[in-house]
Amino acid sequence: MDEREFLEAYDAERFERPSVAVDLLLMSVVEGGLAALLVRRDEHPGLGKWALPGGFVGIDESLDAAARRVMAAKAHMNAPYVEQLYTFGAVDRDPRTRVISVAYFALLPAALFASALEADRDLMLGRLFVPWKGEAGGPVAARSPGGEALPLAFDHDEMLGLAVRRLRGKLDYSPVAFALLPETFTLRALQDVHEAILGTKLNKPAFRRRMLDRGWLKATGERESGTSFRPAELYRHKSS
Amino acid sequence: MDEREFLEAYDAERFERPSVAVDLLLMSVVEGGLAALLVRRDEHPGLGKWALPGGFVGIDESLDAAARRVMAAKAHMNAPYVEQLYTFGAVDRDPRTRVISVAYFALLPAALFASALEADRDLMLGRLFVPWKGEAGGPVAARSPGGEALPLAFDHDEMLGLAVRRLRGKLDYSPVAFALLPETFTLRALQDVHEAILGTKLNKPAFRRRMLDRGWLKATGERESGTSFRPAELYRHKSS
DNA sequence: TTGACTTATATAAAATCTGCATATATGTAA
DNA sequence: TTACATATATGCAGATTTTATATAAGTCAA
């Protein structure tokens, strides 16, 4: 039997197969704190709770393509930076049927969330409350901008916790923070983003020196406007 | 319709579902170089090529449980430290049918491979050749102890590349290297393991001080034997 | 028994990085 | 023109890392 014959005779139906989904962690820094895009569940299970935008993976669709499709269709967004986070495969994580979910996470400037939130009234920007320091880990809770608790469906609190941990871990050796900022930004804005992600205050001169030494920044020569004090220089992420 | 009624009416068969597998990266350091356990494929596709030990995930089995089951059944091993690596989901990565594979990786002392290799003659310890420095990334090739190339099936060369990258990244802030050493070991042996993983030479006094400062080590008071020079002190991993 | 040899272990000097304090610069606004 | 707030620059102490060098402790052979 050669390979062609083998493949024709192969019976993929022999074993029962799980469903595979992708869930998206679309995160940003809003008003000095981490936030993630949530969608109100309008079906069981978890009716009325809040979930990460997600959807099933098509049989002829790669995982990455599914993540991008769901991002456009359910979150009205198109993030330049998307990364696979982890695959959640507990047997009972979804009461409907066996669902294995591949979590992806993306970082977006806060300004990009506004149009999505307007286009779809079931979307919500959940402010995240991280009850641990550093990379200790554990679930994370969400609240609405008004301060009401947003109960999370499935294991999505654990997914958010893992995303925060991964983000904190990558922050100082990887240029991820730039995905959260507009094209040009001040060093102060960059520091604010770092502090929001880490949940700690940082030393200003040391932070500035470290960032400039990394070689990730290019000075534009322009300055911010609209301040009532000395305006700071605007920088740009040098992608080279 | 309440949640119970909804779940009873839920039809999981509406969409065609992919198969989900786990593949295992069982790695060690052998004779100063990285190595991984491979199994000869005795079926199409990739008949005669070499693959990572793997198997399909049962419908009532968590991903982690599937990884442990496959490790015992196909690799005759039981690693204490197992970690999920990444999920590979390209549409055409397996010509039989759509297979999404969750890769797990584990580290084992070289001595543990010997009995597995004897128990199953289709197993092979593949020595890895990493054609890039640091964490650049890309596929990795394998050769037999005798030096013959071991062509890899599916996308398993990419999986090995990602495993090496992850391992290098975690090495100096996580006590992973101890999983590769016997119960007691010298500082020189620990440094050899680090150098094999990183593919570079390290400074000896600096390495020694860093390791001792980490607080991961406990001196046993014993010394190695069988050397023709000054024997080094034996240490033990302080798991606390 | 003794001294050459090899590697382990300890210590010291030099370079680098980090945190903290303070001084100077540059814009707005009264 | 001056008060004010923040940006930017600089100096310094302490910690950490690299590099070099010295000393210790075994084996082995003469």
pLDDT of res. B172: 86
pLDDT of res. A9: 60
Mean pLDDT of the A91-112 span:
95
Q: A4-37 pLDDT, tens per residue? A: 665 566 665 668 999 999 999 999 999 999 999 9
| Cβ of residue A102 closer than 8 Å to a chain B Cβ | yes
Shortest CA to C1' contact from B212: nucleotide = C9
Q: Which residue in the set A17, A43, A61 is minimally distant from B20, CB to CB?
A: A17
Residue nearest to nucleotide D21 (CA to C1'): B205
Mean pLDDT of the A189-214 span:
96
pLDDT of res. A38: 98
Token pair listed for B4: 């119970």
pLDDT of res. B227: 82
**Distance from residue A224's CA to nucleotide D3's C1', rounded to whole Å:** 22
pLDDT of res. A240: 64
Instruction: Using the predicted structure, report yes or no on whether residue B138 has a pLDDT greater than 60.
Output: yes
Instruction: Using the predicted structure, report yes or no on whether residue B231 has a pLDDT greater than 60.
Output: yes
Q: B141-195 pLDDT, tens per residue? A: 999 999 999 999 999 999 999 999 999 999 988 999 999 999 999 999 999 999 9
Q: B68-115 pLDDT, tens per residue? A: 999 999 999 999 889 999 999 999 999 999 999 999 999 999 989 988
Residues in reach of strand C, judged by a CB distance below 7 angstroms, are A 203, 205-206, 209-210, 223, 227-231; B 186-188, 204-205, 208-209, 227, 229-233
Instruction: Using the predicted structure, report yes or no on whether residue B13 has a pLDDT greater than 70.
Output: no
Mean pLDDT of the B10-18 span:
75
Q: Is the separation of the CB atoms in A99 and A19 below 8 Å?
A: yes
Mutate to test the interface with A, among B41, B83, B87 (most CBs of A within 10 A): B87
